[in-house]
A and B are shown apart, each in its own frame.
Chain A
Amino acid sequence: MPPQANVPLPTGYQLDEYRIERQLSLGGFSIVYLAFDKEDTPVAIKEYLPNSLALRSTGDALPSIAEENVATFRYGMKCFFEEGRALAKISHPNVVRVLNFFRANETVYMVMHYERGRTLQEHIQKHKGEIRESFIRTIFARLLNGLREVHTHKLLHLDIKPSNIYLRNDGQPVLIDFGAARQTLSTDTPLLKPMYTPGFAAPEQYNSIRRELLGPWTDIYSIGASMYACMAAAAPQAADQRIERDQLVPAVRRWQDKYSRQLLETVDWCMHLNYLERPQSVFALQKALADKDRIVPRQTLLGHLRKKVKAFIK
């Protein structure tokens, strides 16, 4: 039986010092609300509530948690804390700002600066197939500044995708949803297993045993996939399928008339299945994007190693 959806807190509910206005979204791990603080400033509040472990029914504020799930629920909370802990140290215009953290209703809440605008996902839907090169370059150049800051703090985002890239009305992109930074989750808690988004997750994310394979290049794959999605107006083929049978048409071949070769090559570079072949740091990627004359390095690796990496990922 698939887990049931959780019921959000109702409008007007007084949550600590905040008043709930409405639910912004409901995910498998958490609910996000628009709320107002004492000064009537809007905030976004994320409630830790994995529906595989904790269920809230209509009319209740407290979720019910089965006895055998309490330890796992609390363990997942630890991961929610990790996200808050890391985000708390990051103060960057292109990374969502955390304002407060508190405990209520037997769970925990993260209060964020409320951003006005829409997600890149919504933007792509609205401008299907007509997103210009200059838009992609501007948005991603700024976003990469934020991501660089994230990596500097030894945190990986691990769920970068158009719906987690928020476009503020002033044109600044903001990286949101560090929920997948639940990177501390181990494989022995299947109930909390992070859900990756097909199409945007890097191949090494499917291999949950080897968490040490994750690195800046993992987020960089997702950046490439998000740029690809801007051009295709659809998610690219999922990495686990690509490993079986790679049907992803390289950006260079697909849009040679529409975008510059250098941008297309950079997208393909980011989307290498072999993480060693991708830009190894955000800085390297930024350099490649900024230098329009640069030729992206051709594959240099022995076929031997590539085979090994593939065999390994399987």
Chain B
Amino acid sequence: MKFTIYQESRPGKRPTNEDRIAYCYSRDALLMVVADGMGGHLHGEVAAQIAVQYITESFQREAKPDLKDPFLFLSGAINNAHHAILDYAADRFLPDAPRTTCVACIVQDSIAYWAHAGDSRLYAIRGGRILAQTRDHSRVARMVEDGLISAEDATRHPARNRIFSCLGGTNAPQIDFSKKTPLMTGDVVLLCSDGVWGPLPADVIPRAMSTGNVLQASPALLNQAEARGGENADNLSIIAIRWEDSYAEDTLGSVSTKTMPIDSFTTQMEAFAKARKGAQPLPNLSDEDIERAIQEINAAIKKFSK
């Protein structure tokens, strides 16, 4: 098994990073997970952490060195992670369990399998075109699909972050599964949180990946999304692989699992600072600020009066 992989998570302009990401591989199977803890709820990052940790641990237990049934694995791991979050909340008498989205992908035998709950996404990209993509569990996304609002409106819609499936919720997550998707050399599989896809026009992600150079394109994509996210940029996380032909010569920076012992794993989990900013003091309005505001308003009144 051979691939090039890049992962990175950034807080954006938020005081905390509630995204968690990880990948893990054995000789014959690769797992990638992105979880986006939900801010409205208590300790979103805890839910995300539990999900990512639980799923990678399950993978390490079961991928020996491959999984018997990747879909069954994903279904079990995600559902159990959901229950692990509920248990965590119950143990601590939390009034409400923390919640998180989750998208997880397995690649083995050059076939990709994925599953998701919420609005963290997976794109399978071939030659700069989207081969397959997850469908967000969000009403707004469905409204776009149904033509009720435009994609443009959706980027500003306040419910764009509201999802109807997640881990840790009162209802069991609704998990959607992909088709078995055979990968070819040069194909890119990209997982990301909404902080990445949210601010970007639809075609940017596949186009950015058209070179297949995930090591360069991924951080560039994060830069672009963060810039477009502006003052309010959400947490941004990405994991992207470029699938390699197993028989080709080593590509720089790629991972080859050929020589790995059957029972070993390599796991990469991003670590995060947990700093929280204190309450902001009121911005001070000086006399000059007041004068300037009044002048601006009067200028606008003049300009716009007919």
Interface residues of A (CB under 8 A from B): 71-72, 74-75, 77-78, 81, 84-85, 88-91, 97-103, 108, 188-189, 210, 212-215, 275-276, 280-281, 301-302, 304-305, 307-308, 311-312
Contact = CB atoms under 8 A, between A and B. Distances in A.
B171 A304 contact: yes
B297 A101 contact: yes
Interface residues of B, number: 32
B149 to A, nearest CB: 6
A214 to B, nearest CB: 7
B297 A72 contact: no
A210 B282 CA distance: 19
Contacts, number: 83
Contacts of A99: 301, 305
Top 8 closest pairs, chain A to chain B, by CB = A88-B300, A74-B285, A81-B293, A101-B297, A88-B301, A212-B158, A305-B164, A84-B297
A88 B297 contact: yes
A91 B157 CA distance: 26
B294 A102 contact: yes
B298 A189 contact: no
Given A74-B285, A78-B285, A210 B40 contact: yes
Contacts of A77: 285, 290
Contact of B301 (A100, A212, A215, A312): A100
13 contacts: A72-B282, A74-B285, A75-B283, A78-B293, A84-B297, A88-B297, A90-B304, A210-B40, A214-B158, A215-B157, A281-B153, A304-B171, A307-B170
Given A89-B304, A91-B305, A213-B158, A302 B285 contact: no
A71 B158 CA distance: 30
A275 B285 CA distance: 35
A75 B282 contact: yes
A301 B296 CA distance: 45
A280 B139 contact: no
Contacts of B289: 78
B144 to A, nearest CB: 11
Contacts of A275: 159
Interface centre among B157, B158, B305, by most chain A C-beta atoms within 10 angstroms, is: B158
Contacts of A189: 282
Nearest to B160: A212
Given A81-B294, A276-B139, A276-B159, 9 more contacts: A74-B285, A81-B297, A89-B300, A98-B301, A99-B301, A103-B294, A189-B282, A304-B164, A307-B170
Given A91-B305, A103-B290, A103-B294, A85 B300 contact: yes
